[in-house]
Amino acid sequence: MTNAQVAQIVDEIADLLEIEGENTFRVRSYRRAAETLTGLSDEVEDIFEEEGVKGLQGLPGIGKGIAEKLAELLATGEMTYHRELRDKYPDRMLDMLTVPGLGPRTVALVYEQLGIDSVDELEEAAQNQQLRDLPGLGAKSEEKILHNIALYRQGTERALLGDILPVAERLIAMLRDDPAVIDAEVAGSARRRKATIGDLDLLATSEQPAEVCATFAQSEELAEIIMAGDTKVSGLLTGGRQVDLRVVEPESYGAALQYFTGSADHNVALRERAQKMGLTINEYGVFKEKGGKRGNKVAGETEEGVYEAVGLPWIPPELRERRGEIEAAEKGQLPDLIELEDIRSDLHTHTIGSDGHNTLEEMAEACRQRGYEYLGITDHSPVLIVASGLTAEEIKQQRQQIDELNKRYEDEGVKFRILAGLEADILTGGQVDVPAEVFDLLDFVLGSVHQGFSADADKMTGRIITALESGKVDILGHPTGRLLLAREAYGIHLDEVIKTAGELDMAVEINAHPQRLDLDDIHARFAQDNGTLLSINTDAHAAEHLDFMRYGVATARRGWIEAPSVINTWPLKKLQEWLQRRREDHQ
Ligand code: DGT
Ligand code: CA
Ligand code: CA
Ligand code: ZN
């Protein structure tokens, strides 16, 4: 258990006691304990392991009673006292406490006076003006509660990386513009480029932290301030997502960046390694232990220095998930990760020919602006009428248009080409929706499933493998059909599909659309380990969607992917040879 998790349980006890109307002294003792745990630089788990209950009792604000309860929690993963308190109230009542600005006293009040035990009921009561007559509340508070419930609703789920990262980068640019700021970085899961983000963590370094915090708290990007201190500001973005800014001194900036980038699991592993070397590592720096006491600081200013102090090269944030990165770093075997600059084309794009917003020429122009060497157009196939799939006749026309444009590029000496592709539906029987008379006209086919999602995993797997074995598909598009935060992946034996694709020398897509990121990092890594080729594509339905490429590359990096595994990092000639070979093999 992380300190944060333990602290959260202790804080919840304080909430529950307050709801119960316990005396403020007891409530405060739990709050203090939670604060101590949150601010602790060592792991409470480690302290308990090494020094037992005594070690816990030695922490500021933690007496015998709380220490014993913590010991039970750390030893068994559960705390009887907490569970018994929790069992007295429905879970949804505790949800009420996560509404911004709603504290235990108000929750207890509406529960006792009106029997309200959920956010829904509270909202209804506020709308019906039933709260204004309660002691200490008024018409203003009803309005505020309704406003905060709206924020709570928007902010409950995780957010897409694609929605958060642009905001994060704006905030970082704003911080760097502040003359009091020396440097600033995104931290947490956003820096690790996880597909979804719980809350946004930002870090800045300055000699005047309080000034930086005050300026930041006034920013228009923040819809609400939860907490504004001298070294930390917590607030809500418009949309309700929480953002935490921490401001540290330059001498511990690297250590803080390392610590707050996480993941918590990676940090635990790094700390264990440090311990074996007689070092202590926390958000302030790396320290030599002297006779059990913390001694000299050996690193902290830079992140590189922190890793160097424990005998490791710097590890890219995307790898920090405790998936073998520390062992690889130790052996000098970190992957040479793919970068956005390695991408030479996008092989899954749409035009106004089917359901896209831009013309062929506009898409090509946008790709040229992004420095690409070629572009694959993949409008939908005939069967997908809802997305205006192309008829065989329209496919022929598009081929002609592409030839004309390519001719023009050639005449003008422009080093850019368009490939005629098709996003062919994989039908419920595993047939690939490519009209026979146009198959030879196409440079490549991307096969995707768009219907029959409810089939069981065996059926879906069989259907996709039949399609792959037909030899008509070169790239398997968005292999699981997942829509992050909206739709689960369909049932599929993905490892089997990836292996089959590998055996057939096909590529499997990492769809870069922020709502898909499909394959995910784990399966992308499985593909590469298995020798199966990948293709990172945006599925752009408009020119600006081409910028989603960065999220696909981020997912690939989280999956340890190196550029040669990804076919659209290859020069056009190499890609064409690969496609040619595939055609010949299947004749
Ligand atoms: P999220 O917000 O759920 O998308 O994921 P993170 O990774 O951003 O997690 P968050 O915001 O709770 O914490 C940010 C980083 O701070 C986390 O990646 C590692 C570090 N951290 C937070 N609490 C603890 C803790 O109790 N122990 C350790 N070792 N690290 C922690
Ligand atoms: Ca976070
Ligand atoms: Ca956080
Ligand atoms: Zn598509």
Mean pLDDT (10-residue bins), the chain, 587 residues? 88 91 89 89 91 92 94 94 91 82 89 92 95 93 89 76 96 98 98 96 98 96 92 90 96 98 98 95 91 80 98 98 98 98 98 95 98 98 90 97 98 97 96 96 97 91 97 97 85 97 98 97 98 98 97 98 98 98 82
How far is residue 53's CA from residue 69's CA, in Å, rounded to a whole number?
A: 9
| Angle ∠(343,349,351) on CA atoms, nearest 5 | 140
* CA 100 to ligand 1 centroid distance, Å: 21
Rounded Cα gap, residues 294 and 342, in angstroms: 45
Both tokens of residue 90?
Answer: 């429905």
Q: Which CATH number fits domain 159-248: 1.20.1260.10, 2.60.40.420, 3.40.50.720, 3.30.460.10?
A: 3.30.460.10
Residue identifier of the C-alpha nearest atom 31 of ligand 1: 264
* Contact (Cβ atoms closer than 8 angstroms) between residue 548 and residue 340: no
The pTM score is: 0.78
pLDDT of residue 93: 83
What is the structure's pLDDT at 188?
Answer: 98
Pocket of ligand 1 (CB under 6 A): 2-4, 188-189, 194, 197-199, 201, 259-260, 262-264, 267-268
Report the CATH number of the 340-585 domain. Answer: 3.20.20.140
State residue 587's pLDDT score.
Answer: 62
Q: List the one residue out of 234, 226, 245, 230 whose CA is nearest residue 185.
A: 245
Nearest to 9 by CA among 76, 107, 109, 100: 76
The architecture (CATH level 2) of 3-157 comes to Orthogonal Bundle (1.10)
Which atom, in ligand 1's list, is nearest to the CA of 5?
26
> Which class in CATH covers the domain with range 254-330?
alpha beta
How far is Cα of residue 402 from the mean position of the Cα atoms in its chain? 37
Longest Cα–Cα distance of the chain, Å, equals: 85
For ligand 1, atom 18, the nearest C-alpha belongs to: 262
Q: What is residue 291's predicted lDDT score, i.e. its pLDDT? A: 65
Atom of ligand 1 nearest to the CA of 3: 26
The candidate with the shortest Cα–Cα distance to 220, out of 171, 151, 173, 149, is 171
Asked whether the beta carbons of 318 and 558 are under 8 A apart, the reply is yes
Give the ligand whose atoms come closest to the C-alpha of residue 256: 1
Pocket probe for ligand 1: among 201, 244, 321, the residue whose CB has the most ligand atoms within 8 Å is 201
Residues with CB under 5 A from ligand 2 (ion): 188-189, 198-199, 201
Position 155 scores a pLDDT of: 60
Question: Which residue ranges make up each domain of the chain?
Answer: 3-157, 159-248, 254-330, 340-585
Cα 406 to Cα 200: distance, rounded to the nearest angstrom: 45
Distance 187 CA to ligand 3 centre (A): 9
**φ/ψ (deg, to 5) at 349:** -145, 155
Residues 6+ apart with CB under 8 A from 408: 414
- CA 245–ligand 1 middle distance (angstroms): 13
